[in-house]
Amino acid sequence: MLQKLQLSNGTLVPSYCTDFSIQVKVQAALVEDDWAGYSGAAAGISVQFSKVNWIVHHSYPTVTSLLSLQKLAGIQLISEKEAIAATQLAIWHFTNGINPDSAHNNLIVLQLYAFLVGGANIGDALQPISSLSLIPAGPTAGLAGDKFGPFLVRTTARLVPLTLTAISGVQLVNAQGKTVHQVINGEKRCG
């Protein structure tokens, strides 16, 4: 089931459920994590994360055109509902060992599912690129020698190394005036 999760900035992100046995709590705060944090893996479920990642990058809604998805999978007459159902089933196949019942799924869903879990799915081990935002929480400009900011750091990465490209004498410092070379989510930094 394709759900729209709301980020803290109000952006809606389409998301599939990775675990058949867990109900999404829509109002709960969610934290982006890498596959190592997946609860099924801790419970001893053998999950093929690279296969799930491949599905997410080669199916709907990442492949936004249903016609393109049809051609990619070599099937006919696909609807948005069929694309979503097949994609969710394929994800659960690799995270929970779910196999669809042919008596309860239409032929198009089964065909797209077969493509998504079949030989074309070579896996994709790449994790999504982490996001980084610096949110001004004070003045954004100052005179030479003055501090300005602070800037609130928002990132999905665990730790972000920093490289400053600026004119001579400019530094990125913390509230105590010490130069910083890395940040984590929620920190405030001055310029």
Quick one: three-class SS letters along 33-46? CCHHHCHHHHCCCC
| Average pLDDT of the residues of the chain | 80
Give how far Cα 60 sits from Cα of 40, 99, 106, Å: 24, 19, 17
pLDDT tens digits for range 42-70: 455 566 888 998 999 899 998 989 999 99
Whole-number percent of the chain with pLDDT over 70: 81
Q: How confident is the model at residue 5 (pLDDT cuts 50, 70, 90)?
A: confident
Contact 189, 151 (CB under 8 A): yes
Residue ranges per structural domain of the chain:
3-117, 129-191
- Checking if the pLDDT of 126 tops 90, the result is no
Per-residue model confidence (pLDDT) at position 75: 92
**pLDDT of res. 111:** 95
d(CA 70, CA 59): 10
Q: What is the pLDDT of residues 78-94, one digit of tens each?
A: 899 999 999 999 999 99
Binned at pLDDT 50, 70 and 90, residue 107 comes out as very high
The pLDDT confidence band at residue 115, using thresholds 50, 70 and 90, is: very high
Residue 176: is it exposed, middle or buried by C-beta count within 10 angstroms (0-12/13-18/19+)?
A: exposed
pTM: 0.62
User: So what's the pLDDT on residue 20?
Assistant: 83
Question: What does the pLDDT look like over 141-171, one tens digit per residue?
Answer: 777 777 777 877 777 766 677 777 778 878 8
